[in-house]
Amino acid sequence: MSTPSQPQFILGIESSCDETSAAVIQGRTVLSNVIANQLLIHRKYGGVVPELASRAHQQKIVPVVEEALTLANITKNQLSGVAFTRGPGLMGALLVGVSFAKSFALALDIPLLEVNHMQGHVLAHFLKKPGEHKEVPSFPFLCLTVSGGHTQIVRVDDPLEMRVIGETQDDAAGEAFDKAAKLLGLPYPGGPLIDQHAAKGDPDSFKFPHPRIPGLDYSFSGLKTAFLYFLRDQEKHHPSFKQERLDDICASLQKSIVTILLEKLVLASRETGIRDIAIAGGVSANSGLRKALQFMGEREGWQVFIPPFEYCTDNAAMIACGGSFLFEAGRFTGLETAPLARMPF
Residue type, 61: I
Identify what 153 binds: Zn ion, ligand KG4, none; CB under 5 to 8 Å per kind. Answer: none
- Find the binding residues for ligand KG4 in span 75-134 (CB under 6 A): none
CA distance 342 to 147: 15
Give burial (CB, 10 Å; 0-12/13-18/19+) of 203: middle
In angstroms, give the least distance from the CB of 106 to ligand KG4.
Answer: 28
CA distance 39 to 91: 19
By CB under 6 A, is residue 201 in contact with ligand KG4? Answer: no
Cis peptide upstream of residue 308 (ω within 30 degrees of 0): no
Site string for ligand KG4, 284-313 (x = CB under 6 A): -xx--------------------------x
CA distance 236 to 179: 21
**DSSP structure string for 24-60:** EEETTEEEEEEEEE-HHHHHTTTS--HHHHHHHHHHH
CA distance 94 to 110: 21
In angstroms, give the least distance from the CB of 129 to Zn ion.
Answer: 21
By CB under 5 A, is residue 147 in contact with Zn ion? Answer: yes
With beta carbons less than 8 A apart as the criterion, state whether 242 and 235 touch. yes
By CB under 5 A, is residue 314 in contact with Zn ion? Answer: yes
Site string for Zn ion, 237-256 (x = CB under 5 A): --------------------
CA distance 330 to 310: 28
Rg of the chain over Cα atoms, rounded to whole angstroms, equals: 20
In angstroms, give the least distance from the CB of 165 to Zn ion.
Answer: 19
By CB under 6 A, is residue 323 in contact with ligand KG4? Answer: no
Identify what 283 binds: ligand KG4, Zn ion, none; CB under 5 to 8 Å per kind. Answer: ligand KG4
Beta-bridged to residue 143, according to DSSP, are 154, 278
Identify what 201 binds: ligand KG4, Zn ion, none; CB under 5 to 8 Å per kind. Answer: none
In angstroms, give the least distance from the CB of 121 to Zn ion.
Answer: 6
- Find the binding residues for ligand KG4 in span 161-190 (CB under 6 A): 174, 177-178, 189-190
Size of residue set near Zn ion by CB under 5 A: 2
Binding window for ligand KG4 (CB under 6 A); candidates: 99-107, 152-160, 276-284, 322-330: 276-284
Residues in the site for ligand KG4, rule: CB under 6 A? 17, 147-149, 174, 177-178, 189-192, 195, 281-283, 285-286, 313-314
